């Protein structure tokens, strides 16, 4: 019985506040919804960016050739990656790997020496 009185009392006290809140909401003008911000424009392709994309494509062709065990094709693709490209270190490493698979051990060792000298912090 005590719990029932508590529920009734709470609901009766809450009614005027709810009614007042509803009436105050009705009197306030409704603001229009804010439209979403337009999407950001696409980044322009800059000359350096285009070169990096070409370097990335060459690197991907090289790794695909490695997967297919086409060592000469891999050497050719990795040779197209510029020395200052983002993945130049990987390209040089995998070039040495492919040359080793082709039996060109001296060239592979020379590439590894250049790799260690040019990219001492490469992982």
In a domain, 83, yes or no: yes
pTM given for the model: 0.59
Task: Please give the Cα distance from 109 to 102 (Å, whole number).
Answer: 13
pLDDT at 104: 96
In-domain check, residue 104: yes
Nearest to 116 by CA among 97, 94, 93: 93
Residue 111's domain comprises 48-118
Q: For residue 30, is it within any domain? A: no
Is residue 98 a part of any domain in this protein? yes
The answer to whether position 113 is within a domain reads: yes
Q: What CA–CA distance (Å, rounded) separates 67 from 101?
A: 13
| pLDDT recorded at residue 86 | 87
> Domain for residue 88, yes or no?
yes
Q: Provide the domain count of the chain.
A: 1
Determine phi and psi for 40, rounding to 5 degrees: -65, 145
User: Structure tokens of 58?
Assistant: 């060459």
At 18, list the tokens: 């709810």
pLDDT in tens, 20-72: 455 555 555 555 555 555 555 444 444 556 656 899 999 999 999 999 999 99
Q: Would 23 be classed as within a structural domain? A: no
Q: Is residue 86 part of a domain?
A: yes
CATH number, domain at 72? 1.25.40.10
């Amino acid at each position: 019985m005590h719990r029932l009185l508590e529920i009734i009392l709470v609901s009766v006290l809450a009614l005027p506040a709810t009614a007042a809140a509803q009436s105050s909401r009705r009197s306030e003008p409704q603001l229009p919804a804010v439209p979403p911000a337009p999407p950001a424009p696409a980044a322009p392709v800059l000359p350096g960016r285009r070169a990096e994309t070409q370097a990335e494509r060459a690197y991907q062709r090289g790794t695909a050739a490695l997967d297919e065990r086409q060592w000469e094709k891999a050497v050719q693709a990795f040779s197209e990656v510029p020395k200052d490209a983002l993945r130049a270190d990987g390209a040089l490493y995998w070039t040495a790997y492919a040359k080793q698979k082709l039996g060109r051990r001296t060239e592979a060792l020379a590439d590894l020496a250049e790799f260690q000298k040019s990219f001492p912090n490469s992982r």
